[in-house]
Amino acid sequence: MELVRFNKPYGVLSQFTPEGRWQGLRDYLDLPGFYAAGRLDADSEGLLLLTSNGALQAHIADPRHKMEKTYWAQVEGIPSAQALQQLAQGVLLNDGPTRPARARLLPAEPPLAPRNPPIRQRQHIPTAWLELVIREGRNRQVRRMTAAVGHPTLRLVRVAIGPYQLGDLAPGAWARAD
């Protein structure tokens, strides 16, 4: 076993050691010699790959390999076709323009486990779910992209990294990926 898929819950860091109010991976996994291949912010959920193979870890995490990452983002408001086009063309952020992305409105709320704690709901502001596929991984990039087009992200779930899918893994669960 060289590669593991893990469904990282909200509030868990992409490292084994907890820090402050955030839990670490060791609260969920007992896999000596395994390390995260890439990062996922503590306030984001979903697929995190872990491996015991240093070369594989470098390949997955290295932006030069441009492995696609697919995210489902619950955003405030209903994005227009123009907002989706902006995301697809690339958005200007404070650290420069993003690469073009694939962006689409999901037809319905995806079948995800409820988040703990739940997102904040505003009574008179609707939400929508977007699918964003990017080939780079800047700090908080998806959140910054959706905010730049006027739709702040309320919940963010990574569902795929290249060919590896989150699938039906429950939050906090892991399975072999290789």
Catalytic residues: 41
- Spatial distance between the Cα atoms of 70 and 54, rounded to a whole number of angstroms: 23
The one-letter amino acid code at 101 reads: A
Task: Write the DSSP assignment of 46-85 as a string of letters.
Answer: EEEEEES-HHHHHHHH-GGG---EEEEEEEES---HHHHH
- Spatial distance between the Cα atoms of 5 and 3, rounded to a whole number of angstroms: 7
Residue the block writes with tokens 């109010």: 21
CB atoms within 10 A of CB 142: 25
